[in-house]
Amino acid sequence: MKHKLTFPDGFWWGAASSGPQTEGWAGKKHENVMDTWYRTSRKDFFDGGGPDVASDFYHTYPEDFKLMKEIGMNSFRTSVQWTRLIKDLETGEADPEGVKFYKDMIAEAKKNGIELILNLHHFDMPTELLEKYGGWQSKHVVDLFEKFAKTAFEELGDDVRYWTTFNEPMVIPEAGWLYGFHYPKLVGQGKEAVEIIGNINLASAKAIKAYRDSKKNGEIGIILNLTPAYPESDSKEDAAAAKFADEFFNQSFLDPAIKGEFPKDLEELLRKDGVLWDLSEEDRKTIAENTVDFLGVNYYHPKRVRAPKNPDKYENWMPDRYFEEYEWKEGRINPYRGWEIFPKAIYDIAKNVQDNYGNIKWFISENGMGVEGEERFRKEDGSIEDDYRIDFYNEHLAHLHKAIEEGSNCFGFHAWTAMDCWSWNNAYKNRYGFIGVDLGDQSRKIKKSGRWLKEVSDENAILIEDELMPKF
């Protein structure tokens, strides 16, 4: 039996990407930290693939927007690169070549009837600012980001109605300072990571204030990767571990963005441990008075946690003293990424936002399934038969639809990603796009999932088998 699930009128059907993962280096005046990482350590990247050309969106965007329109996308999120738009990082002076590219790109999106959402920061700190000031450890860098944001709004704000400040800000301290899988690849720097969390929240609030002060006719939000923490058991110890993991990895950005304040229990714990972020009363006032208009949620997998078995093993402060992750025996795993596939978490996220965050309007800003070696699913005409991706999206959308039916204020679904793009040290190992990219000649080919998206967008509905429907 098949079920037709219809979504609200005006629902966003689209995809997300970012400047550093698609544009390539052409025309840029500065390096970001990912550029530097690739230039200095190419062995860290799968098959040596890097952001130097990436998917060449800098040159191919006219074709790409036509293909996005062809597969039914009505919206698309990408980012404005700090290192492309800004000529002088200290003054925030715009680079004319960067401005021209973004204006031309925006015009092309409009020509194809695609609503653009522009994000200001997607893990692409200018390397100069990391090396000179310590990046997000510095309040001066917060002020420089505010200048960049003001320039972006001044140059592009009349043409773009939807903005976001950061994409997955937790990944910056988590990957760069706690666990060492993104540049600068530091491990165990817990106090510094906490300081970065405080400063990025301040930077986001200052950018929001700058947007409102610009009097542009639009809205501004933030994109957060929310990974619900599920305890292993009903014990108070496991419940405490899940509570901490949720507060540290989710609520430390979710609460300031929507409520204008940090979780009180988390602040008390961090203060007791001597690692609390250094924010003045004026900083806190800025955060309190500049909350988001809407929320974007990136969801890929849950976090399975329990009480740590050896909480004192770390020399420096680490969040891991309060929880540890484990692999749920009943979990379905994407073998190419090692991530658990758990669609119900989208429902749980939606209900949490509805019940605990004023039912703010929000959208799924990323959800996707990366698969290695998609060539084996290629047909004679060159297209990819990615039924696994269609099933993945249908199952997640069914859970999202259930939450919407129950009143969750969700207005859109963006997949990761429109066309195959470069993905940090994973490079092009796992492909995610609705549109395939041949890295040899940069040619594009719509996958089966792209044709599926066209049908979904045209009908504003999904048609799915009974076995993919929520069973709770």
For the chain, the average pLDDT equals 97
pLDDT digits (tens, 9 = 90+) for 101-125: 999 999 999 999 999 999 999 999 9
Query: CB–CB of 206/145 below 8 Å?
Result: yes
Q: Which of 358, 347, 151 is nearest to 254 (CA)?
A: 358
DSSP string for 324-388:
EE---TT-EEETTTTEEE-THHHHHHHHHHHHHSTT--EEEEE----EE-GGGGB-TTS-B--HH
Say how many C-beta atoms besides its own lie within 10 A of residue 52's C-beta.
13
Give mean pLDDT, residues 425-443.
Answer: 96
pLDDT at 381: 83
Q: Where are the domains of the chain?
A: 2-468
Q: Which of 367, 358, 360, 311 is nearest to 334 (CA)?
A: 367
For 389, what's the count of Cα atoms within 13 Å in the CB-facing half-sphere? 29
pLDDT at 248: 98
Q: Which two tokens stand for residue 41?
A: 């350590």
pLDDT digits (tens, 9 = 90+) for 202-241: 999 999 999 999 999 999 999 999 999 999 999 999 999 9
- Alpha-carbon distance of 95 to 89, in angstroms, equals 10
Which residue among the candidates 31, 168, 174, 195 is catalytic per the annotation?
168
Active site (annotated) includes residue 237: no
Query: CB–CB of 224/353 below 8 Å?
Result: no
Share of the chain above pLDDT 70, in %: 100
- Alpha-carbon distance of 221 to 119, in angstroms, equals 9
Question: Distance of CA 13 to CAs 69, 78, 135, 292, 471, Å?
Answer: 11, 15, 35, 22, 25
Burial 74-109 (b: 16+ CB within 10 A, else e): bbbbbbbbbbbbbbebeebebbeebbebbeebbebb
- Pairing label, strands 435-437, 75-79: unpaired
CA 154-160-163 angle, 5° bins: 85
Query: CB–CB of 107/65 below 8 Å?
Result: no
3 state DSSP class of 466? helix
* pLDDT at position 468 over 90: no
pLDDT digits (tens, 9 = 90+) for 319-376: 999 999 999 999 999 999 899 999 999 999 999 999 999 999 999 999 999 999 998 9
Query: CB–CB of 180/262 below 8 Å?
Result: no
Give mean pLDDT, residues 407-435.
Answer: 97
Residues present in the chain in total: 472
pLDDT digits (tens, 9 = 90+) for 130-144: 999 999 999 999 999
Type of residue numbered 237: E
Residues 6 or more apart in contact with residue 121 via CB below 8 angstroms:
79, 82, 145, 165, 166, 167, 169
3 state DSSP class of 410? strand
Say how many C-beta atoms besides its own lie within 10 A of residue 441's C-beta.
6
Name the pTM for this structure: 0.98
472 — pLDDT class (breaks 50, 70, 90): confident
3 state DSSP class of 31? coil
* pLDDT at position 379 over 90: no
CA 16-18-21 angle, 5° bins: 120
268 — pLDDT class (breaks 50, 70, 90): very high
Give mean pLDDT, residues 411-437.
Answer: 97
Peptide bond into 184 cis (omega under 30): yes
pLDDT at 383: 84
Query: CB–CB of 331/322 below 8 Å?
Result: no
pLDDT at 172: 98
pLDDT at 62: 98
The β-bridge partners of 221 are: 164, 294
Query: CB–CB of 5/401 below 8 Å?
Result: yes
Q: How far is CA 420 from the centre of its chain?
A: 16
Q: Which two tokens stand for residue 257?
A: 């963005």
Which residue among the candidates 23, 155, 366, 374 is catalytic per the annotation?
366
pLDDT digits (tens, 9 = 90+) for 165-190: 999 999 999 999 999 999 999 999 99
pLDDT digits (tens, 9 = 90+) for 150-162: 999 999 999 999 9
Give mean pLDDT, residues 393-414.
Answer: 98
Which CATH number applies to 2-468?
3.20.20.80
Q: Which two tokens stand for residue 413?
A: 């679904």
Q: Is 246 exposed, middle or buried (0-12, 13-18, 19+ CB in 10 A)?
A: buried
- Alpha-carbon distance of 336 to 310, in angstroms, equals 30
Peptide bond into 417 cis (omega under 30): yes
Q: Which of 176, 277, 260 is nearest to 251 (CA)?
A: 260
